[in-house]
Amino acid sequence: MRDIDDLFATLTAAQADKKRPPVHLWDPQNTGTIDIRIDSDGQWWHEGTAFQRQALVELFASILTLDNGQYFLITPVERLQIQVEDVPFMAIDMDVRGEGTSMELLFSTNVGDYIVADGEHQLHMRGERPYLAVRDGLEARLTRSVFYRLVDLGVEEEGALWIHSAGARFCLGNLQ
Protein backbone atom coordinates (compact mmCIF):
# COMPACT_ATOMS: atom_id res chain seq x y z
CA MET A 1 0.00 0.00 0.00
CA ARG A 2 2.92 2.35 0.57
CA ASP A 3 3.83 2.41 -3.15
CA ILE A 4 0.38 3.62 -4.19
CA ASP A 5 0.42 6.24 -1.42
CA ASP A 6 3.80 7.47 -2.68
CA LEU A 7 2.50 7.56 -6.26
CA PHE A 8 -0.57 9.60 -5.29
CA ALA A 9 1.53 12.00 -3.21
CA THR A 10 4.09 12.48 -5.99
CA LEU A 11 1.59 13.02 -8.80
CA THR A 12 -0.82 15.25 -6.88
CA ALA A 13 2.12 17.36 -5.63
CA ALA A 14 3.44 17.66 -9.19
CA GLN A 15 -0.01 18.83 -10.35
CA ALA A 16 -0.26 21.35 -7.49
CA ASP A 17 3.19 22.72 -8.34
CA LYS A 18 2.31 23.32 -12.00
CA LYS A 19 2.35 26.99 -12.83
CA ARG A 20 -0.38 27.76 -15.34
CA PRO A 21 -0.34 31.04 -17.22
CA PRO A 22 -2.87 33.50 -15.75
CA VAL A 23 -5.15 33.39 -18.80
CA HIS A 24 -8.09 34.55 -16.68
CA LEU A 25 -6.30 37.90 -16.25
CA TRP A 26 -5.56 38.45 -19.93
CA ASP A 27 -7.88 40.48 -22.14
CA PRO A 28 -6.17 40.58 -25.53
CA GLN A 29 -7.51 42.96 -28.17
CA ASN A 30 -6.32 40.86 -31.14
CA THR A 31 -8.81 38.09 -31.86
CA GLY A 32 -9.20 35.62 -34.66
CA THR A 33 -9.04 31.96 -35.56
CA ILE A 34 -6.17 29.59 -36.15
CA ASP A 35 -6.24 26.31 -38.05
CA ILE A 36 -5.71 24.14 -34.99
CA ARG A 37 -8.05 21.23 -34.35
CA ILE A 38 -8.26 18.69 -31.55
CA ASP A 39 -9.85 15.53 -32.90
CA SER A 40 -12.15 13.20 -30.97
CA ASP A 41 -9.14 11.07 -29.92
CA GLY A 42 -7.35 14.06 -28.35
CA GLN A 43 -4.83 14.43 -31.19
CA TRP A 44 -3.83 18.02 -31.96
CA TRP A 45 -3.57 19.13 -35.61
CA HIS A 46 -2.28 22.30 -37.29
CA GLU A 47 -3.13 22.94 -40.91
CA GLY A 48 -3.87 19.24 -41.41
CA THR A 49 -0.62 17.99 -39.84
CA ALA A 50 -0.54 16.22 -36.48
CA PHE A 51 1.54 17.87 -33.77
CA GLN A 52 4.76 15.90 -33.33
CA ARG A 53 6.06 17.55 -30.15
CA GLN A 54 4.25 16.64 -26.93
CA ALA A 55 5.80 19.66 -25.19
CA LEU A 56 4.03 21.95 -27.67
CA VAL A 57 0.70 20.20 -27.06
CA GLU A 58 1.16 20.63 -23.30
CA LEU A 59 2.09 24.31 -23.73
CA PHE A 60 -1.00 25.01 -25.84
CA ALA A 61 -3.17 23.01 -23.43
CA SER A 62 -2.01 25.32 -20.63
CA ILE A 63 -3.43 28.39 -22.44
CA LEU A 64 -6.63 26.71 -23.64
CA THR A 65 -9.91 28.19 -22.44
CA LEU A 66 -13.60 27.55 -22.98
CA ASP A 67 -15.93 30.50 -23.46
CA ASN A 68 -19.61 30.09 -24.40
CA GLY A 69 -18.99 26.65 -25.88
CA GLN A 70 -16.05 27.83 -28.00
CA TYR A 71 -12.38 26.97 -27.41
CA PHE A 72 -9.63 29.58 -27.51
CA LEU A 73 -5.87 29.76 -27.12
CA ILE A 74 -5.17 32.93 -25.14
CA THR A 75 -1.93 34.89 -24.77
CA PRO A 76 -1.50 38.42 -23.42
CA VAL A 77 -1.78 39.75 -27.00
CA GLU A 78 -4.03 37.28 -28.90
CA ARG A 79 -7.20 35.25 -28.46
CA LEU A 80 -7.46 32.63 -31.21
CA GLN A 81 -10.39 30.29 -31.67
CA ILE A 82 -9.63 26.62 -32.39
CA GLN A 83 -11.84 23.65 -33.25
CA VAL A 84 -12.44 20.81 -30.80
CA GLU A 85 -14.40 17.79 -32.05
CA ASP A 86 -15.49 16.51 -28.62
CA VAL A 87 -13.44 17.63 -25.62
CA PRO A 88 -9.80 18.75 -25.60
CA PHE A 89 -8.29 16.12 -23.31
CA MET A 90 -8.26 12.35 -22.84
CA ALA A 91 -7.93 10.52 -19.52
CA ILE A 92 -5.43 7.86 -20.56
CA ASP A 93 -4.65 6.13 -17.25
CA MET A 94 -6.09 5.67 -13.78
CA ASP A 95 -4.57 4.75 -10.44
CA VAL A 96 -6.67 3.60 -7.50
CA ARG A 97 -6.07 3.98 -3.77
CA GLY A 98 -8.37 2.47 -1.18
CA GLU A 99 -11.67 0.75 -1.80
CA GLY A 100 -15.40 1.19 -1.43
CA THR A 101 -16.54 4.60 -0.25
CA SER A 102 -13.00 5.57 0.78
CA MET A 103 -11.56 4.95 -2.70
CA GLU A 104 -9.62 7.64 -4.57
CA LEU A 105 -9.25 7.65 -8.35
CA LEU A 106 -6.30 9.50 -9.87
CA PHE A 107 -6.54 10.08 -13.62
CA SER A 108 -3.64 10.95 -15.95
CA THR A 109 -4.40 12.95 -19.09
CA ASN A 110 -2.77 13.06 -22.49
CA VAL A 111 -1.48 16.58 -21.70
CA GLY A 112 0.34 15.65 -18.49
CA ASP A 113 -2.31 16.57 -15.92
CA TYR A 114 -3.14 14.44 -12.87
CA ILE A 115 -6.64 14.79 -11.47
CA VAL A 116 -8.30 13.08 -8.52
CA ALA A 117 -12.01 12.63 -9.18
CA ASP A 118 -13.79 14.54 -6.42
CA GLY A 119 -16.52 17.12 -5.88
CA GLU A 120 -14.65 19.68 -7.99
CA HIS A 121 -13.46 17.23 -10.65
CA GLN A 122 -16.57 15.20 -11.26
CA LEU A 123 -16.99 12.09 -13.34
CA HIS A 124 -20.12 12.13 -15.49
CA MET A 125 -21.68 10.35 -18.41
CA ARG A 126 -22.92 11.89 -21.63
CA GLY A 127 -24.85 9.15 -23.30
CA GLU A 128 -22.51 6.16 -23.30
CA ARG A 129 -19.33 8.23 -22.91
CA PRO A 130 -17.56 8.97 -19.60
CA TYR A 131 -15.99 12.37 -18.91
CA LEU A 132 -13.95 13.99 -16.14
CA ALA A 133 -14.01 17.70 -15.28
CA VAL A 134 -10.40 18.92 -15.49
CA ARG A 135 -10.43 22.70 -14.95
CA ASP A 136 -12.39 25.82 -15.80
CA GLY A 137 -15.04 23.95 -17.81
CA LEU A 138 -12.47 21.90 -19.74
CA GLU A 139 -13.01 18.14 -19.76
CA ALA A 140 -11.27 14.89 -20.53
CA ARG A 141 -13.01 11.87 -22.03
CA LEU A 142 -11.94 8.58 -20.50
CA THR A 143 -10.36 6.17 -22.95
CA ARG A 144 -12.17 2.88 -23.39
CA SER A 145 -9.59 0.91 -21.38
CA VAL A 146 -9.74 3.38 -18.47
CA PHE A 147 -13.54 3.27 -18.52
CA TYR A 148 -13.57 -0.55 -18.46
CA ARG A 149 -11.28 -0.49 -15.42
CA LEU A 150 -13.59 2.05 -13.79
CA VAL A 151 -16.66 -0.08 -14.47
CA ASP A 152 -14.93 -3.07 -12.83
CA LEU A 153 -14.68 -1.00 -9.65
CA GLY A 154 -18.31 0.13 -9.76
CA VAL A 155 -20.94 -0.99 -7.28
CA GLU A 156 -24.58 -1.63 -8.09
CA GLU A 157 -26.86 0.60 -6.04
CA GLU A 158 -30.42 1.71 -6.72
CA GLY A 159 -30.47 0.01 -10.15
CA ALA A 160 -27.39 1.89 -11.35
CA LEU A 161 -23.62 1.49 -11.35
CA TRP A 162 -21.87 3.87 -8.94
CA ILE A 163 -18.26 4.69 -8.16
CA HIS A 164 -16.80 6.59 -5.21
CA SER A 165 -13.71 8.80 -5.19
CA ALA A 166 -12.39 11.27 -2.62
CA GLY A 167 -15.69 11.44 -0.78
CA ALA A 168 -17.80 11.99 -3.91
CA ARG A 169 -20.19 9.54 -5.58
CA PHE A 170 -20.66 9.27 -9.36
CA CYS A 171 -23.22 7.40 -11.44
CA LEU A 172 -21.80 5.43 -14.38
CA GLY A 173 -25.21 4.55 -15.78
CA ASN A 174 -28.44 2.65 -15.19
CA LEU A 175 -28.31 -1.13 -15.25
CA GLN A 176 -31.82 -1.68 -16.65
Q: Give 10-residue mean pLDDT values along the chain (176 residues).
A: 64 67 89 96 96 93 95 95 98 94 96 95 95 97 97 92 96 86
Sign of CA dihedral 26, 32, 35, 39: positive
| pLDDT for the residue numbered 16 | 62
Whole-angstrom distance, CA of residue 94 vs CA of residue 35: 32
Alpha helix (H) ranges present in 47-143? Answer: 54-62
Question: Could you tell me the domains of the chain?
Answer: 18-84 (3.10.540.10), 89-174 (2.30.270.10)
Q: Report the alpha-carbon distance of residue 110 to residue 140 in Å, rounded.
A: 9
pLDDT computed for residue 24 by the predictor = 87
The pLDDT value given to residue 10: 67
Q: Return the pLDDT at 125.
A: 96
